[in-house]
A and B are shown apart, each in its own frame.
Chain A
Amino acid sequence: MNKKIKELKKKSIELKIDVIKMLDKAGSGHVGGAFGMAEIFTLLYNEIANIDPKKPDWKERDYILVSNGHICPIWYAILANIGYFDRKKLDKLRKVDSLLQGHPKINIPGVENSSGMLGHGLSQAVGVALGLKMKKMKNKVFCIMSDGEQQEGQTWEAAMSASKYFLDNLVGIIDYNKIQIDGNISDIMPLGDLKNKYEDFGWMVLDVNGHNIEHLLSCFEFVNKIKKQPTLIIAHTTPGKGVDFMENKFEYHDWTDDGEEVKEALRQLRQKLSDLY
């Protein structure tokens, strides 16, 4: 493993540790999806997107939108980690008067879109990408979505409009972890062949292992070459990745703990972190 990959890997585990501590203090929150996307958030904010945490309103920045806002603990953790706001704010997640709401709002530095109702984010991202095209600006727009919200009709309205307007500045990323709040996607409402569906809607679609940093890096590199159509990255992920009793369990989509699980989760994550040193 080269040094850069190792550093990114370490950072993604540190973020998970932050998330466990945040959720422990908050008393509730969504952990499964947050853990599954730790590597992707780490990569986007450290390697891929053109951003400056000191200037959240910088006009040349790339826009990172999150449609499945319930995974915000990992979003808040990375934003604090790279300096969008003070880390102390993480302790107040979901508390009254806190900047960090249970679902993201655009007044939080670094947060580009409000969410909390699934299926809205891709439309918002289309709006941002279209607005940038109107202004003849080159910024990229990333939109993270869940697989569960592909069940929302609005997602497909948005997918259609992205290819109508040739939004090659738009990159959708689906966290394809195959669970949703009440069970497995295949039981609740099967999605069929997502890749084919998006291709039929005019998108370039890439499949990738969402935890493999090397593959993700080359995938994002390839995205820059796509012209005249939007790109979708289907990131195959393991929900709860990194803590054995959480992995692939829809019961850990959201989580309220008795205290024992926190200790065990932290132990496992710290072990993984020290293995990298």
Chain B
Amino acid sequence: MNKMSNYFLRDWKNESKLEQKALRDGFGEMILKLGKDNKDIIVLNADLPGSLRVKKFEKELPNQFVQVGVAEQNMAGIATGLEIVGKIPFITSFAAFSPGLNFSQIRLAAICKQNIKVVGSHYGLNVGEDGASAQMNSDLGMMKSLAGITIITPADYNQAMQATKLISEMKGPAYLRVTRAKFPVFLKPDSEFEIGKAQKLIKGDDLTVIATGSMVYETIQALLPLIEDGLSIDLLNIHTVKPLDKEIILKSAKKTNKVIVVEEHNIWGGLGESVARLLGEKHPVEIKCIGIKDTFGESGSHRDLWSKYGLDRKSLRKQISSLIF
């Protein structure tokens, strides 16, 4: 038997009835609101204000906006300095460039737990036509290795808004990854959301499915027919990749003894590895990590790429079925 949680919006199962919005828009909208309420919130950007959805912030709050040009390392360094005088800096660019190009500057800030926020957009194959160099599939691995950092990869637009607000309120370094592509808005804007606490979207007994970020809704669509066929599933939305909600994962794995992790990231360094390590140490079970199989992407449409690289709902369903039947 499956029990659906109250995280969902009313029409969550019916994709055609849901609004489609990019996660970067959730960030852009919330950071503007936060900036208006708190003049210490500063947005830094490296020549991509349109892509990061901070054009309105730049226009309406020019004194809280720093345009550094194409200089991501300087952007992170300036943020560190702004933090020293009590500001709350958000550095914003493509994930391929930030943290891709300025990891060392972020690491230096993280060593002393400085309160800087890194917002990387355009992760995953869903970036599409711009090709491999723009599709960042290594950011979780890089950032996960920094001690004490918080990493959030929201599942939809509403959750991106919530995550933006929460990282602005917490102390210490944080990384928020958002998407260029639009995804269905399926979570309630006011649903319970706590950093480091996973959301159990569906409660069941036979299989644990863990998904994060852009893959959460696609995984739901992969699972729905299986659920209708009687499969009982625990579906966890791990929006916080670090710190990992070990408790909920262990509890679920002890119940089902079968775990699948789905993410849009290289399987090397991603969430799957974190879950596998946890379970390997505490409660070894059968586990399958679905993600990008240690390869780089290429140009193509979002959907064509997901299909080719095995991340579309049909491929997911097939891989999940092979583990359970």
Q: Which residues of A contact B (CB under 8 A)?
A: 63, 65, 105-107, 112-117, 119-132, 134-135, 153-154, 157-158, 160-161
Contact = CB atoms under 8 A, between A and B. Distances in A.
B83 A127 contact: yes
Mostly helix, strand, loop or mixed at chain B's interface? helix
Interface residues of B, number: 29
A63 B82 CA distance: 12
Nearest to A128: B81
**Top-7 shortest CB links A-B:** A127-B81, A123-B77, A157-B74, A131-B85, A157-B71, A127-B78, A128-B81
Contacts, number: 104
B89 to A, nearest CB: 8
Given A105-B111, A157-B73, A126 B84 contact: no
Contact of A113 (B71, B84, B87, B104): B84
A123 B87 contact: no
Contacts of A114: 80, 108-109, 111-112, 114
B76 interface: yes
Nearest to B78: A127
Given A126-B77, A127-B77, A128-B84, A134 B68 contact: no
A70 to B, nearest CB: 14
Interface of B: 42, 63-64, 66, 68-69, 71, 73-74, 76-87, 89, 104-105, 108-109, 111-112, 114
Contacts of A158: 74, 77-78
Contact of A127 (B63, B71, B73, B84): B84
Contacts of A121: 77
A123 B74 contact: yes
A161 B78 contact: yes
A64 to B, nearest CB: 12
Given A130-B66, A134-B87, A123 B109 contact: no
A153 B84 contact: no
Given A123-B77, A157-B71, 16 more contacts: A113-B84, A120-B104, A120-B105, A123-B74, A123-B80, A125-B81, A126-B77, A127-B79, A127-B83, A130-B66, A135-B85, A154-B105, A157-B69, A157-B74, A158-B74, A161-B68
